[in-house]
Amino acid sequence: MKKFLKKIICVFLIGFYFFKVEHVQSIIPYYYLPTKKNLQKDSLSIGKNAYQLLYFGQYEQSLNLAKLAVQINKTDQKLWLILSEAQAANKLYKKALDSLNRAQKINPNIGAIYFAKSNIYFQISQLQNAKTALETGLKIEPNNHKAIFQLGNILLMEKNYSGAIKLFDKSVKIKPDFWQSINNQGLAYYEKNNINLSIKFFEKAISIEKNAEPLLGLASCLRTKNIKLALQLAKEALDKDPNYVNYDYRKEQLWGEKLQASTEILLQNDQLQTAVKLAKSKINISS
């Protein structure tokens, strides 16, 4: 390796000796100076990569890339939105709101900005701010079924069950197979003591998506009507998602006090104890 290196240096020196001075300039390296258009293209590519990392749960790496994308191009609201998502994923909520404010200054007519703000306010339990942000976004995108659903969830938390049901119904009219809204109508009707309608909506949600939540919700509704079916549904629900054995987890999913009380009684049934213990053990292993 050393002999080869010596030869290279020797050839270079000999070549340099025979070149005229003015020709030496021709071996000065050419530096690429990117145009504004190329920089914008590069920043969008980096932003896309940041979003993909976010999707795969690599939050810290996503944040670093999103910061780089914004440093390259501070005039694209999409990049500020991606940065805010990465910041929120890293629980940097204040910085995420600041990024969304920057995006809003660039273009205030994008509903996604206000929906993203609402999600952050929701995370930090500022429900009134979350509601205001959703309402602002819905003025821009009135048919966004997910935003309507989220607004319904806030009303559900405020125990405005009639108002929540109207919003959930509106969401389903826009997207008929949106089982989450159908399920949450079941939650709301139970708190209004309309068990029959609650059963109807849980059954409808299950017909679209056999998810643990409507399965256990339906089981709780049937506890005094058909205990055999209720036990079967409860076992299936806990097998699909053991987290639903936990009171606090159900509360996070916006289950009201009345449905919670019925579910706690159901889960104390002797015939469910094996399923309950198994679900709790699965939670402990994963945590």
Q: Which residues contact 220 (CB under 8 A, 6 or more apart)?
A: 190, 230, 259, 262, 263, 266
Q: What is the pLDDT of residue 27?
A: 47
For residue 118, is it within any domain?
no
For residue 14, is it within any domain?
no
For residue 79, is it within any domain?
no
Tell me the one-letter amino acid at 93: Y
When pLDDT is cut at 50, 70 and 90, the band that residue 285 belongs to is confident
Residue ranges making up the domain that contains 207: 177-287
Query: Angle 93-106/77-89 helices, nearest 10 degrees?
Result: 170
C-alpha distances in angstroms, 151 versus 136, 186, 201, 231, 252?
Answer: 11, 16, 19, 33, 16
pLDDT at 200 exceeding the cut of 60? yes
pLDDT at 275 exceeding the cut of 50? yes
Tell how far CA 108 is from the center of its chain.
Answer: 22
Give the 3-state secondary structure of residue 110: coil
CATH number of the domain enclosing 249: 1.25.40.10
Residues 257-268 have pLDDT tens digits of 999 999 999 999
Average pLDDT over residues 205-228: 98
What string of DSSP letters covers 100-141? HHHHHHH-TT-HHHHHHHHHHHHHTT-HHHHHHHHHHHHHH-
Tell how far CA 57 is from the center of its chain.
Answer: 11
Average pLDDT over residues 202-219: 98
Residues 225-248 have pLDDT tens digits of 999 999 999 999 999 999 999 999
269 burial (CB, 10 Å; 0-12 / 13-18 / 19+) is middle
For residue 95, is it within any domain?
no
Domain count, the chain: 1
For residue 275, is it within any domain?
yes
When pLDDT is cut at 50, 70 and 90, the band that residue 203 belongs to is very high
Q: What is the pLDDT of residue 17?
A: 34
Residues 160-184 have pLDDT tens digits of 999 999 999 999 999 999 999 999 9
When pLDDT is cut at 50, 70 and 90, the band that residue 284 belongs to is confident
For residue 7, is it within any domain?
no
Q: Report the alpha-carbon distance of residue 265 to residue 129 in Å, rounded.
A: 36
pLDDT at 36 exceeding the cut of 60? no
Q: Which residues contact 59 (CB under 8 A, 6 or more apart)?
A: 53, 86, 89, 90
For residue 35, is it within any domain?
no
For residue 37, is it within any domain?
no
Q: What is the pLDDT of residue 33?
A: 46
User: What is the Cα Rg of the chain in Å?
Assistant: 29
Residues 86-138 have pLDDT tens digits of 999 999 999 999 999 999 999 999 999 999 999 999 999 999 999 999 999 99
Q: What is the pLDDT of residue 44?
A: 85
Q: What is the pLDDT of residue 280?
A: 96
Rounded to the nearest 10°, the torsion over CA 166, 167, 173, 174 is 160
